[in-house]
Amino acid sequence: MSTRRRVVVTGLGAVTSIGSSVSEFWKNLLAGVCGIRPLSLFDASTYRTQTAAEATEIPDGFLSPAEKRRMSRADRMGLAAAAEALSQAGLEASREDPTRVGVILGGGTSGLIDSELVYEAWLQGRRGRPSRVLNHLPDAITDRVAQRFGLEGLKSTITTACSSAANAMGYAYDAIVGGLADVMVTGGSDVLARLTYGGFNSLRSVDPDPCRPFDRERRGLSIGEAAGILVFEEEDRARRRGAPILGEFLGYGVTSDAFHMTAPDPSGSAGARTIRAALEAARRNLSDVDYVNAHGTATPQNDSAETAAIKMALGSRAREIPVSSIKSMIGHCLCASGAIEAIATVMTVREGCVPPTIHYEHPDPACDLDYVPNDSRDVPVSLALSNSFAFGGNSSVVVIARYG
Amino acid sequence: MALVTGAGAVCALGRTSQEFYRRLRAGETTIRPFTTEERRGLQATHVARYDSFTPQPEIPAMKARRFDRGSQFAILACSQAIAEAGYDVARAPESVGIALGTGSAGAGALTEFLKVLFTESPEAAPPFQFPNTVANAPASQVSIELKLFGPNVTITQKDPSGLNALLFSSLAISSGRACAMLAGAVDEWNPVYAMGFDRVGALKGEKRPTGIVQGEGGFAVLLEEEKTARARGVRPLARLAGIGTAGVPTEPYRFAPDPAAIRRAILGALQAARTDPSGIHLCFPSANGVVEMDRAEENVLSEIFGGAVPPRILVKAAIGEMAAAGGGQIVAACRALADPDGPFRQSAQPRRVLIDSFGAGGNFFAAVFESVT
């Protein structure tokens, strides 16, 4: 077996509906706090549902008022999470070779919540504020993070809907392993918008109440928003500078279902293929898996298909390990979900405690694994998977291990 | 590095990669004045739309209705690349993937969906439009149509998105995730997006002498692991020899005409390709009409090549600027390398071409392709 550069996680940052720092987010995850509440970012009274998981506070005090005006909500959330992650990693561009530090994020809605209003104004014959369209494209946050922290390496934004951030982490991992960078700031930031809220409602995929992943009575997802940023670093470099090593990113699997634009393959074979690809890339066996952080959207189709995929890929091991969905607490944060769930997974392997799936009451014969119902559980976890399955059949599974 | 064994192009300059390259070489351009209807309220005066596009005969009319314009472009371009390569996807679908760059995919569906949401009600918004509002729709529709089970990503990072997708593809192959990747880019012109770009001062027009002219189209190459391509006995168009990239910390919508970053991207590509400036025989500059960027690129090219810059082919002067234009540069570069009469500055082998692709937000990419003997 050839040796390759190892990639460790040296910083984490989070802004979510249940916490504006990783420590607060993690504490509330373990306590089973639900961040799904009445939607306040825009008037939802004419939509079919009215709840969402909004970020309650964005710790962006380091930005000037002018900067805040120029930036979108997604920018500010992403920058706040990046500041926390880089601070924990102890990285400052002035002390680094900035050309070896890159940024790859997952993005989708970006500044859409603002640019939607400009379009509405145009439809009404008004001019609107043109500056509100400046942050429309999802790559704006990636550029903002590089700008703010003086990073001059590879930049990219992956936009594969709900697997965007997971794929971004995979690309960042490949960049370090391939020698294109030594440090990558990765993850994603995605916020609520009328398009996504209206879109999932038009598909009748949103539960009017807080979502219930894997429960027999589940009626769909709850839409959320979050920023999750991870600092990936080449292992030797991190050790040399005495950086905090929070976990190891062992690799990822990225595949295409090639099945349907919105429906998952119900047999689970597509998801199973992704899990197997991830373990192969990580050079680990299915018997090594101790925990699965599920995609677990709470749509009837996803949860049964994902259960089938886990069973198909892991065989009898599937029934021996905990599988939980933190979307029951923070909603489906769309293009950022893979990042925020990877952060929860890093914390799981680090702390040896698995977050629960809350709102779980009624077992479903089609979802017959151990979903860690309602209460967190102390379990030593050496290696965990985090699943992300998206519109278009864009599937990604990341493999995270305890370091050492 | 990997081999390019097939190419596809669907844009106003050609409906195949061969036609696209032939007309590009002939110096044709598809940039035209806006019609009165198109121009409503814009200061921009020109555009490069694919006016006569129809997805028929390749995609039957009833089926084509399911796909947005960007997906139609992508399906045709990718199918062409697979066909030219003679690649049998069904033999190992898990080993074939796709990475497309885009700046506007999903724009048509997004604006239509929001229009109904705002002018009627959220409940009236058409559910069939929503799945196509995601930028990954074209790559995903291609994977569904061609039954690709390998990696599937879409990348948005300003104008160099196509080269960014090429880098992802090259890493997917070198890491063993895939044996072959469809790499390219796709964009659709959209009047609402045009209005947005115009209002923020990005488009060239009667009030602004500097800026881009928007285009649209889809481009793809099939990038294959060299060993498996050789084993198939396929005749490659070109080899991807190296990619270089550089970033400049700046506002996402600002151009940063930074000579150091341009130099770093180009020299990075040359170094990865294990060549020096004397080994480059043809250039595809980024030149897109943003005067300060074009001037900075010209200066750096003169400096790197000691005043003797190889012959240049200006793709964006022919098809306009967009994230997909980098895909057009890649396709044109590969066709040129397969053309014994290509406009190279000397006959030395292997011939090499340099592609520059620079965008707003401080995003710089360069790539080197070489001929395969």
**Residues A195-237: tens digit of each pLDDT:** 999 999 999 999 999 999 999 999 999 999 999 999 999 999 9
Contact (CB, 8 A) for A321 and A286: no
Report the complex ipTM: 0.97
Contact (CB, 8 A) for B203 and B214: yes
**pLDDT band at residue A391 under the 50/70/90 scheme:** confident
Q: Say yes or no: B12 and B119 in one domain.
A: yes
CB contact (8 A) between residue B151 and residue A171: no
Q: Say yes or no: B248 and B228 in one domain.
A: no
Read off the pLDDT of each residue in A381-394 and give the average, rounded to a whole number: 94
Confidence check: pLDDT of B347 > 80? no
Q: Say what the pLDDT of residue B129 is.
A: 92
Distance from CA of A221 to the nearest CA of B (A): 16
Q: Say yes or no: B227 and B270 in one domain.
A: no
Q: Of these residues, A34, A211, A332, A367, which one is catalytic?
A: A332
Q: Say what the pLDDT of residue A93 is.
A: 78
Distance from CA of A195 to the nearest CA of B (A): 6
Q: Which chain B residues are closer than 8 Å to A259 by Cβ?
A: 144
Q: Which chain B residues are closer than 8 Å to A118 by Cβ?
A: 196
Confidence check: pLDDT of A1 > 70? no
Q: Say yes or no: B33 and B91 in one domain.
A: yes
Residue B221's DSSP bridge partners are B7, B183
**Domains of chain A by range and CATH?**
7-247 (3.40.47.10), 251-401 (3.40.47.10)
Q: Say yes or no: B197 and B276 in one domain.
A: no
Residue A260 bears catalytic tag: no
In angstroms, rounded to a whole number, what is the distance separating the alpha carbons of residues A328 and A213?
6
Distance from CA of A380 to the nearest CA of B (A): 30
In angstroms, rounded to a whole number, what is the distance separating the alpha carbons of residues A249 and A176?
11
Q: Which chain A residues are closer than 8 Å to B359 by Cβ?
A: none
Read off the pLDDT of each residue in A373-380 and give the average, rounded to a whole number: 98
Q: Say yes or no: B217 and B257 in one domain.
A: no
Q: Say what the pLDDT of residue A127 is.
A: 85
**Residue B291's CATH number:** 3.40.47.10
Domain count across chain B: 2
Confidence check: pLDDT of A334 > 80? yes
**Residues B37-67: tens digit of each pLDDT:** 999 889 999 999 999 999 999 999 999 999 9
Read off the pLDDT of each residue in B280-289 and give the average, rounded to a whole number: 97
Q: Say what the pLDDT of residue B40 is.
A: 86
Interface test with A, best of B123, B153, B199 (most A CBs within 10 A): B153
Contact (CB, 8 A) for B213 and B48: yes
Confidence check: pLDDT of A130 > 90? no
CB contact (8 A) between residue A160 and residue B252: no
Tracing tokens 């504490």 back to the chain, one arrives at A27
**Residues B141-160: tens digit of each pLDDT:** 999 999 999 999 999 999 99
Q: Say what the pLDDT of residue B7 is.
A: 98
Read off the pLDDT of each residue in A34-47 and give the average, rounded to a whole number: 97
Distances (CA, A) of A352 to A228, A231, A382, A384, A401: 21, 21, 8, 11, 11
C-alpha closest to that of B29 among B335, B285, B317: B317
A159 → closest Cβ in B131, B135, B246: B135
Q: Which chain B residues are closer than 8 Å to A200 by Cβ?
A: 130
Q: Say yes or no: B228 and B320 in one domain.
A: no
In angstroms, rounded to a whole number, what is the distance separating the alpha carbons of residues A328 and B5?
47
In angstroms, rounded to a whole number, what is the distance separating the alpha carbons of residues B13 and B60?
23
**Residues A241-287: tens digit of each pLDDT:** 999 999 999 999 999 999 988 888 899 999 999 999 999 999 999 99
**Residues B97-115: tens digit of each pLDDT:** 999 999 999 999 999 999 9
Distance from CA of B67 to the nearest CA of A (A): 11
B253 → closest Cβ in A122, A134, A394: A134
Range of the domain at B263: 241-370
CB contact (8 A) between residue B150 and residue A154: no
Q: Say yes or no: B30 and B173 in one domain.
A: yes
Q: Which chain B residues are closer than 8 Å to A206 by Cβ?
A: none
C-alpha closest to that of A221 among A329, A375, A356, A110: A329
Q: Say yes or no: B27 and B175 in one domain.
A: yes
Confidence check: pLDDT of A48 > 60? yes
Residue that finishes a domain, picked among B177, B210, B232: B232
Read off the pLDDT of each residue in A355-378 and give the average, rounded to a whole number: 98
Nearest CA in chain B to A43: B122
In angstroms, rounded to a whole number, what is the distance separating the alpha carbons of residues B191 and B209?
21
Residue that finishes a domain, picked among B198, B232, B266: B232
Residue B48's DSSP bridge partners are B215
Q: Which chain B residues are closer than 8 Å to A46 by Cβ?
A: 121-123
Tracing tokens 């962006």 back to the chain, one arrives at A60
**Residues B179-201: tens digit of each pLDDT:** 999 999 999 999 999 999 998 89
Q: Say yes or no: B250 and B329 in one domain.
A: yes
Q: Which chain B residues are closer than 8 Å to A197 by Cβ?
A: 122
Q: Say what the pLDDT of residue B120 is.
A: 97
C-alpha closest to that of B363 among B183, B56, B158, B137: B158
Read off the pLDDT of each residue in A40-68 and give the average, rounded to a whole number: 97
Q: Say what the pLDDT of residue B247 is.
A: 98
**pLDDT band at residue B271 under the 50/70/90 scheme:** very high
B175 → closest Cβ in A118, A147, A177: A177
Q: Say yes or no: B16 and B114 in one domain.
A: yes
Nearest CA in chain A to B110: A195
Q: Say yes or no: B245 and B163 in one domain.
A: no
- Average pLDDT, whole number, for chain A? 96
Residue that finishes a domain, picked among B182, B215, B232: B232
**Residues B202-213: tens digit of each pLDDT:** 999 999 999 999
Q: Of these residues, A34, A162, A333, A367, which one is catalytic?
A: A162
Residue A332 bears catalytic tag: yes
Confidence check: pLDDT of A2 > 70? no
CB contact (8 A) between residue B131 and residue A391: yes
The helix (H) or strand (E) run that includes residue A270 is helix A269-282
Peptide bond into A356 cis (omega under 30): no
- For the record, the structure tokens of A259 come out as 């099945």
CB contact (8 A) between residue B144 and residue A261: yes
Distance from CA of B55 to the nearest CA of A (A): 20
- In our burial notation (b when 16+ CB lie closer than 10 A, e otherwise), range B305-316 reads beeebbebbbbb
CB contact (8 A) between residue B158 and residue A139: yes
Rounded to the nearest 5°, which phi and psi values hold at A98?
Answer: -65, -20
Distance from CA of A63 to the nearest CA of B (A): 14
